[in-house]
Amino acid sequence: MSRFASPVVAVLGPTNTGKTHLAIERMCGHSSGMIGFPLRLLAREVYERVVAIKGAASVALITGEEKILPPQARWFLCTAESMPLERDLAFVALDEAQLGADPNRGHVFTDRLLRARGRDETMILGSESLRPLLKALIPGIEIINRPRFSTLSYAGAAKLSRLPPRSAIVAFSAEEVYAVAEMLRRLRGGAAVVMGALSPRTRNAQVAMFQAGEVDYLVATDAIGMGLNMDVSHVAFASLRKFDGRRTRRLTVPEMAQIAGRAGRHQRDGTFGTLSVEGATGGFDDEEVAAIEEHRFAPLDHLYWREGEPDRSSLDALLVSLERKPDRPQLRAAPEAIDLAVLRRLADEGWVRERAKGARAVARLWAACGLPDFRKTGVEPHSRLVGRVYRHLSEGSGHLPVQWFADELQRLDQTGGDVETIADRIAGVRTWAYIAHRPDWLAEPEKWAERTREIEERLSDALHQRLTQRFVDRRTAVLMRDLGARGMDALPVTVAGDGVVAVDGEPIGHLDGFRFRVDPTTKVGDMKRLLAAAERRLGGVLAGRAKALVAEGDGGFTLATDPGRPVAVFWRGHIVARLGRGRTMLTPRLLPYKALDSLTPDDRKAVTARLERWLADEIARQLPALVTLAAAAQDAAQPGALRALCAPLADAGGVLARAPVEAVVAAVDRPLRPAAAKLGIKLGTLDIYVPALLRPEPVRWRLALAAAYHDGVMRVPPPAGAVVVTTPDDRDGYHAFAFAGFRPLGGQMLRVDLVERLARIAHDTRGQAKGGRVPFAPDPALATSLGLRPASFAQLMLALGFRPAEPEAERARWVWRGAPRPERVHPPVRPVRENAFAVLARGVGNG
């Protein structure tokens, strides 16, 4: 029992009665004092409050893995396990004393309840259910009951999507916490996450988000039931069952009340209920609801006990004293805790018994067994770690090897990974922090305590960041909050110069031309709300853009001809239309981009008219020769023979093999040749073409119009140069290049104007060779300079009507055999409608 006979006061009552606040006030009124708490998080929270009153130099924080102990400290905030009972302090208090009935930690709280005493005053804080036990265990105790400040009411079951703002959802496993938080992220923009395993730094950062209103929901384990102060108006239980370390069981009514009591604060009333989940069964019974609302609970009939000052004279004496049964009917022997289970296993090791001789060695062994299993690995793995620690503590200098300690910390000092990975690292760091805070386990404990603190802070910041990234969508949170507060039409929507769209300052997407694109990180479930919020307010911006487009000069538009994609019209770098099949190739249909549907009908009509006007003007500017050909084909004033030639040539895009239309060409007699030349037509030996249409930009436009006419995609234009390499197996390239103005010659294709130039040279050379009927050798210099291979040149000579005179000669000699007949090298065409353009169409259809 305690060496002090000071008065003991018990302050009992439900949550939100100000018990902890009263204890802090009483402690600060004494010259010194100490309060023991059930959680490190709660001890840290109260420590910061007392520091604000007394100053950091006078206040200490002592937990298993964190110790702030100024030399002149007079007020101590501790976890129950870490209370320094040997100190002579004026005031001592124990918070949540009803935890003495907890099978796992109850013996610690019972020991502090019986032995922790202040010199002048002792205060026990807890539930009203403790009253009969306190009277029996502490004669003369004064018991004060405090009523709850606010009303707690049952609100029934509710779906996650229907939970009111400022709700806390309580789950009983990390997996369940994460699942609920993820659903809230999709439905409501996210939630803060609080679990007992979080470091104080991470927990405070998460709670700060909730308190600041950045998120309206909190998902937590039952750790929030232990006095953590948060502005919660409703508590929803995701489940009423939990795994208590031994079995899965239903929560007791006091446990339910402890958690539900977090709802409401000071004078504000609170509510509690359950989550309505499809397939879930069970909820609060009527008796449970009544008990929670009226704060009526069955009195506790026992507390768990274990010897608080065991005999350390020998290992066997230590085991005997820890197994001793309580001698009072109100106390029950505590179930075997992990520290005792580890001690039993190590006691079976011969080397441990050899070293654990004498009171100091036994005390050191028992202290090592007190190393908490922060990572929840279980008795066997944890025993191996404790055994290694004790081996080092019991040999040499009695300190842990610095290199081992440093290596273990270095392994954990990594901020990468997901939530679970970082949380596991923090648990690992807590193990080494606990070791670093033992005064005689390391050679330089202060140095390593600071090192573990730095690593835990870095990991805590990383964990807060990962939790926020995973479970908070700030865009949706802002949106949902403002929708509830102001309605859809009141949301402030802004569009920055670079097109970034923000709702109430929170970026949610990008205005690309006339199309609003939701941020790609946004989940599908959020997209409808974002679109609704943004597009309803973007009408004015879009109308302004429509007027700017209509007033734009021709230089603001471009024709996009990316190979493999439909032909499109762009305005200031943004797509506004695509080209489709029109009545003729030169009159494509302009298809406004679907984003223009967001414009008003009048604005859309004006934009479409401006685009159509630009397209017509640009076709006339880029392809004047082709426009002239098409007009001549329809002009009744033109001679019939010339119109018959212009029609297929215009249909073919300005390039046409001569052989299939030889009869049409023959009808264009000598008097009509100047008229044909005036139209830009070149009557070549093998091809009919318009030289002006062979330049790169007209070729690009002709291919684009051909693709649009046949509802296909843009083909790859021929590369710069006179010769391209292709084969009929490359269907798209072969037909596109032929349409562009290249004649196939074996494995190569040569531009038709250069074909004609080589043909003229060949005939001029033949004419010089005795009438042209004797073998001759044409000068290959031009063909070679163009990059034409000998085999391809031979194909050209054959097409021109020559045959090899001396096939085996080193330099080929050729002889004239007569005018060329229709060859099979070029894709077969039929006169007039079936031409190179139609061949391209077949290539599009079969590509």
pLDDT digits (tens, 9 = 90+) for 374-397: 988 899 999 999 999 999 999 999
* Tokens 């084909």 -> residue: 633
Given a contact cutoff of 8 angstroms between Cβ atoms, the answer to whether 484 and 198 are in contact is no
d(CA 767, CA 782): 18
Task: Read off the CATH number of the domain in which 123 is found.
Answer: 3.40.50.300
Strands 331-333 and 303-305: parallel
Region for residue 189 given its phi and psi (left: phi exceeds 0; alpha: psi -120 to 50; beta: otherwise): left
Rg (CA), the chain: 45
Q: How far apart are CA 213 and CA 480, in angstroms?
A: 12
SS3 727: coil
Q: Read off the pLDDT of each residue in 409-415 and give the average, rounded to a whole number.
A: 94
DSSP code at position 147: -
CB–CB of 238/217 below 8 Å? no
Phi-psi category of residue 727: left, alpha or beta, with phi > 0 → left and psi -120 to 50 → alpha: beta
Q: pLDDT tens digits, residue range 117-144?
A: 999 999 999 999 999 999 999 999 999 9
DSSP 8-state code for residue 776: B
Tens of pLDDT along 150-176? 889 999 998 888 899 899 999 988 888
The helix (H) or strand (E) run that includes residue 182 is helix 174-188
Give first-to-last CA distance, the chain, whole Å: 94
281 in the same domain as 170? yes
| Beta bridge pairs of residue 557 | 571
Query: Distance between CA atoms of 554 and 621, rounded to whole angstroms?
Result: 11
Order of strands, sheet of 217-220, starting from the edge strand that comes earlier in the sequence? 152-158, 270-275, 234-237, 167-170, 217-220, 192-194
pTM exceeds cut of 0.85: no
377, part of any domain: yes
Is 733 part of a structural domain of the chain?
yes
Please state the rounded mean pLDDT for residues 696-707. 93
Structure letter (DSSP) for residue 490: G
- Rounded distance, CA 745 to CA 748, Å? 5
pLDDT score recorded for residue 279: 47
Q: 200-211 and 445-471 helices cross at what angle (nearest 10)?
A: 40
HEC per residue, 91-134: EEEECCHHHHHCCCCHHHHHHHHHHCCCCCEEEEEECHHHHHHH
90 and 158 co-located in one domain: no
Q: Are residues 491 and 530 in the same domain?
A: yes
Strands 557-560 and 152-158: what pairing?
unpaired
Counted domains in the chain = 6
Same domain, 459 and 562: no
Query: What is the spatial distance between Cα 633 and Cα 646, in angstroms, rounded to a whole number?
Result: 5
Average pLDDT of the chain to the nearest whole number:
86
Query: Could you give the CA distance from residue 339 to residue 366 in angstroms, rounded to a whole number?
Result: 8
Q: What pLDDT score was predicted for residue 289?
A: 93
Statement: residue 443 has pLDDT above 80: yes
Residue 479 falls within a domain, yes or no? no
What 3 state SS string does 360-412 have?
A: HHHHHHHHHHCCCCCCCCCHHHHHHHHHHHHHHHCCCCCCCCHHHHHHHHHHH
DSSP three-state, residue 267: coil
Helix (H, G, I), strand (E, B) or coil at 487: coil
Largest CA distance in the chain: 143
User: With contact defined as beta carbons under 8 Å apart, do 262 and 225 qualify?
Assistant: yes
Interior/surface letters 174-195, b for 16+ CB within 10 angstroms, e for the rest: eebbbebbbbbbbbbbbbbbbb
Contact 35, 63 (CB under 8 A): no
Report the pLDDT averaged over residues 311-340.
95
Q: How far apart are CA 372 and CA 28, in angstroms?
A: 31
CB 309 within 8 A of CB 86: no
Residues 206 and 249 placed together within one structural domain of the fold: yes
Give the least confident one: 269-273, 690-694, 816-820.
816-820
Query: Whole domain around residue 379: which residue ranges?
Result: 304-466
Q: Read off the pLDDT band of 115 (50, 70, 90).
A: very high
Please identify, among 294, 320, 355, the residue that sits at the C-terminal boundary of a domain: 294
Residue 333 contacts residue 320 (beta carbons within 8 Å): no
H helix or E strand, kind and range, residue 577: strand 574-580
Please indicate, yes or no, whether residues 23 and 130 belong to a single structural domain of this protein.
yes
339 — phi, psi (to 5°)? Answer: -65, -40
Collapsing DSSP states into helix, strand and coil, what is residue 217? strand
Q: Quick one: which of 210, 216, 205 has its CA closest to 230? A: 210
Packing angle of the helix pair 315-322, 338-347 (nearest 10 deg) = 150
Please tell me whether residue 650 adopts helix, strand or coil conformation: helix
Two tokens, residue 511: 């205005």
Give strand pairing partners of 92.
34, 122
The verdict on 772 and 807 lying in the same domain is yes
pLDDT at 473 over 90: no
Q: Within this chain, do residues 138 and 156 fall inside the same structural domain, yes or no? A: no
Q: What share of the chain has pLDDT > 90, as a percent?
A: 53
The pLDDT confidence band at residue 847, using thresholds 50, 70 and 90, is very low
Residue 846 has pLDDT above 50, yes or no: no
- Spell out where 165-251 has E strands: 167-170, 192-194, 217-220, 234-237, 241-243, 248-250
Sequence letter at residue 590: L
Q: What's the CA gap between 275 and 645, in Å, rounded?
A: 81
d(C-alpha 357, C-alpha 363), whole Å: 10
The residue out of 406, 432, 466 marking a domain boundary is 466
Q: What is the pLDDT of residue 447?
A: 93
> Is residue 87 domain-resident?
yes
Mapping DSSP onto H, E and C, the string for 37-97 reads ECCHHHHHHHHHHHHHHHCHHHEEEECCCCEECCCCCCEEEEEHHHCCCCCCCCEEEECCH
Rounded to whole angstroms, how far apart are CA atoms 125 and 13? Answer: 8
Tell me what percent of the chain is helix, strand and coil, each rounded to the nearest 5. Answer: 45, 15, 35
47-67 pLDDT per residue, tens: 999 999 999 999 999 998 889
Q: Is the pLDDT of residue 475 over 90?
A: no
Q: Residue 812 and residue 805: Cα distance in Å, rounded? A: 8
Q: Can you give the pLDDT at residue 217?
A: 92
Look up residue 748 and give its amino acid.
Q
Same domain, 758 and 650: yes
Is there a contact between 221 and 262 (Cβ–Cβ < 8 Å)?
A: no
**How many residues in total does the chain contain?**
847
**Spatial contact of 236 and 274, defined as CB atoms under 8 Å apart:** yes
User: pLDDT-derived band of residue 837, with 50, 70 and 90 as boundaries?
Assistant: very low
User: Between these two residues, 261 and 570, which has the higher pLDDT value?
Assistant: 570
- Residue 719 per-residue DSSP state: P
Q: What does the DSSP 8-state code read for residue 789? A: -
For the record, the structure tokens of 24 come out as 């802090």
- The answer to whether position 478 is within a domain reads no
DSSP-based three-state secondary structure for 286: helix
1 in a structural domain: no
- The answer to which of 32-36, 111-115, 490-494, 589-593 has the lowest mean pLDDT is 490-494
With a cut of 80, say whether residue 825 has pLDDT above it: no
Residue pLDDT, tens place only, 178-213:
889 888 887 777 899 988 778 888 888 888 888 888
* Euclidean distance between CA atoms 189 and 217, whole angstroms: 9
**Whether residues 577 and 617 fall in one domain:** yes
pLDDT score recorded for residue 380: 94
Work out the average pLDDT over 316-344: 95
3-state class (DSSP) for residue 306: coil
> How much is the pLDDT for 589?
94
Asked whether residue 175 is domain-assigned, the answer is yes
Which of 587, 622, 657 terminates a domain? The answer is 622
581: its two tokens: 């099949």
Range 714-722 average pLDDT: 84
| CA pseudo-torsion sign 460, 465, 470, 474 | positive
627 falls within a domain: no
Per-residue confidence band for 28, with pLDDT thresholds at 50, 70 and 90? very high
**β-pairing verdict for 91-94 and 121-126:** parallel
Same-domain pairing of 524 and 574: no
- Residues pairing with 66 in the sheet: none
Judged against a pLDDT cut of 50, whether residue 537 lies above it is answered with yes
∠ CA(27), CA(33), CA(35), 5° rounding? 80
Same domain, 309 and 391: yes
* Residue appearing with tokens 């590369």: 719
The 10s digit of each residue's pLDDT in 588-620 is: 999 999 989 888 999 999 999 999 999 999 999
